[in-house]
Amino acid sequence: MRDGAQSEGVSFSTEDKLEVMQRLDDFGIDFIEGGYPGSNPKDEQFFQAAKRRKLKHAKLVAFGSTRKANIKAAEDKGMRSLADAGTEWVAIFGKSWDMQLEKALQCSVEEGVEIVSDSVSFLRSKRKKVIFDAEHYFDGWKSNPKFSMKVLEAAAEAGAEYLVLCDTNGGTYPSDVQKAVRQVAKRFDLPLGIHAHNDSELAVANSLAALEAGAEMVQGTINGLGERCGNANLCSIIPTLVLKMGARTSIPDLTQLTPLSRFVGEIANIEPDPRSPFVGRSAFAHKGGMHVSAVLKDTRTYEHMVPELVGNQRRILISELAGTASLLAKSKELGIDTEKDSGKEILEKLKQMESEGFQFEAAEASLELLIRKLKGLQEQPFQLSGFRLFMDVGGPTTISEASIRVVDHNGNVEHTAADGNGPVNALDRALRKALTKFYPVLSEVRLIDYKVRVIDGKDATAAKVRVLIRSTDGRSSWTTIGVSGNIIEASLMALMDSIEYKLMKSGINGASLKRRKES
């Protein structure tokens, strides 16, 4: 919650950080950096609030810098903030690259060593357990290894509990990380740690290399959040350690890893990368027909592990690359029997629609509705008999109004209107306003994402567009699709699919209503 909070676009509230802290503790993380108590009022508020929370496993860590140059640690405001943070553990970073001392702090290497010694000693005098992060260690190791080692010696002699080697610029290669860690491991009896940044896409590899070379602590973030290109991704490191390297960790239930990744993404308001190893939505997704056919015979053909071990799941994608095996597998996943007719007719229809611009791998709710309709299992429980859009452009802001007429399965007509901040918003509000009178369950539904993509840009403003809408009822979410040369029509298609999908999942569809009426 310190390095991860430095991601561009991320800002945690005090309550956010308390929720994340609790979730990390439940998952089994050993140390949680709560923030920098001397840097801003929000972090100070967090540490005050955290004192009232009891952790069952994790140790909360206050983070900060060594003291400033030309001042004693006891007189340094940042040092005093760390001492007063109320945590048993503190982590401080100190310069271990001589260039940083000369350029950033503008002091001698001798003074740099003294800064580290004085800072650790002060915190130990306040009965704090100290994790010392040797900032830019690997750059310093290449530039002036004697000085970098002296910095570690100063921290160790002053009473640090851990010595953490930091690849702060993220530019070190794994073989160099291993070499440096082995040298330090020979010199000290203290446990070592690794803190890697991802500027060269090597943070996970460097962390694992350090652990193989003798490090015991790995610092990272959930989903690899962090400044610039991010930090080492714990969602990749933890399962690799447990499942590939056979390491013993404090994680009691690895199946909670994927839910943890998604939870942190939600709190940070940054959706996790769908292609993230282990926890990404696409990590165990299969699209090519030959791949799907092989996976159905033996998952080891195209999967390196069982997705359920990390709380993820296998997904079969349907596209123009899919074969009959893909469709049968996807239909089975959705609970639809297509074995009898082999699904060839459905597959041809899907491929035809994809040639027109539809893309069902990103809109599984629309896909399920389509398959059910082609199998005669789903009839639309309402009809849209007409709509009009009005736009008031006379004032400082443009206001849209949608007038809409719908008919339910009994022939009841509802004609209503609604305003919106745009035509699609107005249509959405009017459609749900009308249908909620027939189907109150729709009051739970709201839109959470709306994407428009031009399919063929060379057609300019006459180009077809693909609209993807993500909806939620507070318990689950689903994505629907619409394609048209008219953005309003494409949006309406996706909106209607979204509503129909919710009704279907609630046990309401035209086919069942018709049978009920006949009986």
Q: Which helix (H) or strand (E) holds 482?
A: strand 477-484
pLDDT score at 396: 72
* Architecture of the domain whose range is 382-518: 2-Layer Sandwich (3.30)
pLDDT score at 332: 66
For 33, the token pair is 């950096």
**Which neighbouring-strand residues pair with 420?**
400
For 201, the token pair is 């896409």
Q: Are 454 and 434 in contact (CB under 8 A)?
A: no
pLDDT score at 281: 86
Query: What's at 183, amino acid-wise?
Result: Q
Distance CA 91, CA 128 (A): 10
**What is this structure's pTM?**
0.71
Query: What's at 313, amino acid-wise?
Result: Q
Residues of the chain with pLDDT under 70: 288-289, 317-344, 361-362, 394-395, 457-462, 509-519
**Smallest Cα–Cα separation from 456: which of 349, 380, 357, 352?**
357
DSSP 8-state assignment for residue 72: -
pLDDT digits (tens, 9 = 90+) for 161-214: 999 999 999 999 999 999 999 999 999 999 999 999 999 999 999 999 999 999
> Vertex 329, ends 324 and 332: CA angle to 5°?
125
pLDDT score at 38: 75
**Which neighbouring-strand residues pair with 201?**
none
**Smallest Cα–Cα separation from 324: which of 366, 278, 286, 293?**
293
pLDDT digits (tens, 9 = 90+) for 56-103: 999 999 999 999 998 999 999 999 999 999 999 999 999 999 998 888
Please give the class, per CATH, of domain 66-219.
alpha beta
- Could you state, in order of their start, the residue ranges of all structural domains in the chain? 66-219, 285-355, 382-518
Q: What are phi and psi of 232, to 5 degrees?
A: -60, 130
Distance CA 357, CA 354 (A): 5
